[in-house]
Structure 1
Amino acid sequence: MHGEYKVPGGKLVVVDLEVREGRIDGFRLAGDFFLEPDTALEAIDGAVNGLSADADSTTIAAAIRAGLPADAQLLGFTPEAIAVAIRRSLSRATDWRDYDWQIIHDGPVSPNMHLALDQVLTEEVGAGRRGPTLRFWEWNSPAVVIGSFQSLRNEVDMENADKFGFEVVRRVSGGGAMFMDAQSIVTYSLYAPGDLVQGMSFADSYAYLDEWVITALKSLGIDAFYQPLNDITSAKGKIGGAAQKRLGNGALLHHATMSYDMDGEKMVQVLRIGREKMSDKGTTSAAKRVDPLRSQTGLPRAEIIEKMKQTFTSLYGATPGTVSADELEKAEALVESKFATPEWLRRVP
């Protein structure tokens, strides 16, 4: 069995192993990481061999850490990263380039239509009717998109939302509210088979699925990095955040929103951002918490998106695509039956 795991911001970890009578055997670690002393490699191999093939990542990492020499130095990877690679090999996880990706960047649709498309396209990937897809959003009207489990009245000042013309909608994934003024943010959605993140914890999968974005932002001169659990940030402040939803058919929805040119003062009037939430971000001002992409790059929003497309294609391979007529029809029906209904919006009052 063979498994690979590219540590977000770090090095590639490669493992090969066999399973005999329920135990890991013939384990070999490789990669472009740095490891001292040389004997530490044999120590890691020895610590893994004999472990139960059912051992979870925490157990595997603990065994590796216990088997390392006291003076061992691991650069660009960790025992936890090795454990992820092992679990991915045992579950026969797939890699980005195992798929024929499409990139969709269609014209503007309503906020609720975007949310319906997220559900429909994830379901289509899970059913095998669509290949894995990256989709960029476009919209012409301002909106607030709250997380699946957020309280509407606790998160949004509806009076100010109406005053500034913001439609309030609810998505299927968890996480926090998205303040989406027209043309002020960059939002994308990934629709992928769950096998792509097999062997990873939810926390690991967030950084793994957005590593290409960090690469794109760095190429634009932004000192970007991932901050657990789900934030894309930089030395100058938070840029955006991600959310996920796993469907029962095995497909995965992962989407993220990054600020381009946000009106921070308007945001704090529309969103009820509490002091407790802000205190764990190390700041007292929500308006200062988000550092827009425009101020760090000086580039038009369209150029930033184009760079993101180019980066994704160069890393994983992709061809242009579009939402099909059948998918649009399904999404329109879902808007009417679910996303545009008061029952869905107020499912958590």
Structure 2
Amino acid sequence: MTGWRLLLSGPGEPGFNMALDEALALAVRRGWSPPTLRIYQWQSPAISLGCHQPLSVLQGFGGMGPGVAVVRRPTAGGAVAHSADVSYALVCDTVRLREHPSRLLYARFHAALGRALAVGCPSCRPPAGGYALSANRAPALPEQARCFEQPVADDLMAGSRKVAGAAQRRWRDGLLQQGTVVASGCSPDRVALSIRTAWAEVFRQRFTVGTLTVQERLLADELWRKYRPWTPSSWPPVIPSASNRSR
């Protein structure tokens, strides 16, 4: 398949957001669907954990309330609190990744996103110096990390504040990159346009707005069972390690 598809999903239930991202990854890798960028938000406050993180990272997490759902992502990385942020999933096959090794793709996208935000979201323009990639050379977060509190190499920064981070999962036949952008003072639509503009620059492609296929929707519904979120009231009395909770 040629062409790149853009899905503008709007706010979604936390567990379904993760199920749909995995379903798209499977569909693209199997050749059912074209390379896809999905941009979405969160229907209700949620915390997403990296696929290998222990639940103990949630202890003392600021802003946890009785209605906050907790889900695992199909990608790794640190814990992220979602509310007014804009998230995305980029899925493509291996052929299109030949010029984009894992770390380079991460850095290229965040550099392009900084340029797009500077133009598209002037109301949230950072202080003098503009957007920049994190100088922290740590390549990955420790297991207990909270993503936006601990920048790693090539995260997008506005001064000392982290604006965007992401996590990848690569297979022999494709890639899923999930990321989140927190641009205070900028409308979700403008942030979404900046995300689209940045990925178009990285891959030198145009995205065409599309819709889910019936096959993708059925697959997401099936995977949704795996991603049913927890809430504080439904957590186990003893929080187990990721090794026996990972999905």
Question: 1: CA distance between counterparts of 2:10 and 2:117?
Answer: 24
Question: 2: CA distance between counterparts of 1:238 and 1:162?
Answer: 21
Q: Partner of 1:281 in structure 2?
A: none
Q: Alignment partner for residue 193 of structure 2, among 306, 309, 319?
A: 306
1:310, CA displacement in angstroms?
4.8
Deviation string, structure 1 residues 92-142 (Cα, Å, up to 9, x no partner): xxxxxx951111112432111111111111111111111111111122211
Asked if the contact 1:99–1:131 (Cα under 8 Å) also holds between the matched residues in 2, the reply is: yes
Return the letter of the residue paired with 1:340. Answer: R
Between the aligned residues of both structures, percent identity stands at: 26
Q: Partner of 1:198 in structure 2?
A: 98
Q: Partner of 2:245 in structure 1?
A: 347
Q: Partner of 2:206 in structure 1?
A: 317
Q: Partner of 2:181 in structure 1?
A: 258
What secondary structure, in the 3-state scheme, does the structure 2 residue paired with 1:165 have? coil
Residues 198, 306 of structure 1: alpha-carbon distance in 2 compared, 3 angstrom cutoff? closer
Asked if the contact 1:230–1:243 (Cα under 8 Å) also holds between the matched residues in 2, the reply is: no
1:303, CA displacement in angstroms?
2.6
Question: 2: CA distance between counterparts of 1:344 and 1:125?
Answer: 32
2:117 counterpart of 1:217: yes
Deviation string, structure 1 residues 68-114 (Cα, Å, up to 9, x no partner): xxxxxxxxxxxxxxxxxxxxxxxxxxxxxx95111111243211111
Asked if the contact 1:118–1:189 (Cα under 8 Å) also holds between the matched residues in 2, the reply is: yes
Q: Alignment partner for residue 328 of structure 1, among 217, 225, 228?
A: 217
Which residues in structure 2 correspond to 1:1-349 (within 5 Å)? Answer: 99-153=2-56, 155-157=57-59, 163-181=65-83, 184-198=84-98, 200-219=100-119, 220=121, 221-222=125-126, 223-227=130-134, 229-248=153-172, 250-259=173-182, 293-294=183-184, 298-310=185-197, 312-313=199-200, 316-336=205-225, 338-340=226-228, 347=245
Higher relative contact order structure (alpha carbons within 8 Å, sequence separation ≥ 6): 2
- Number of aligned pairs? 211
Question: 1: CA distance between counterparts of 2:219 and 2:196?
Answer: 26
1:312, CA displacement in angstroms?
4.6
Return the letter of the residue paired with 1:180. Answer: H
Question: 1: CA distance between counterparts of 2:210 and 2:111?
Answer: 22
Asked if the contact 1:112–1:169 (Cα under 8 Å) also holds between the matched residues in 2, the reply is: yes
Q: Partner of 1:15 in structure 2?
A: none
What secondary structure, in the 3-state scheme, does the structure 2 residue paired with 1:138 have? strand
Residues 203, 310 of structure 1: alpha-carbon distance in 2 compared, 3 angstrom cutoff? closer
Question: 2: CA distance between counterparts of 1:146 and 1:193?
Answer: 25
Return the letter of the residue paired with 1:252. Answer: L
- Structure 1, unaligned runs of 5 or more: 1-97, 260-292
Of Structure 1 and Structure 2, the greater helix share is in 1
1:215, CA displacement in angstroms?
2.5
Instruction: Tell me the TM-score normalised to structure 2 length.
Output: 0.74
Instruction: Tell me the TM-score normalised to structure 1 length.
Output: 0.54
1:327, CA displacement in angstroms?
0.8
1:340, CA displacement in angstroms?
2.2
1:307, CA displacement in angstroms?
4.0
Residues 341, 187 of structure 1: alpha-carbon distance in 2 compared, 3 angstrom cutoff? closer
1:236, CA displacement in angstroms?
4.6
Question: 2: CA distance between counterparts of 1:112 and 1:190?
Answer: 18
Question: 2: CA distance between counterparts of 1:229 and 1:244?
Answer: 14
Return the letter of the residue paired with 1:195. Answer: V
1:164, CA displacement in angstroms?
4.4
Quote the RMSD (CA, aligned, Å). Answer: 3.0
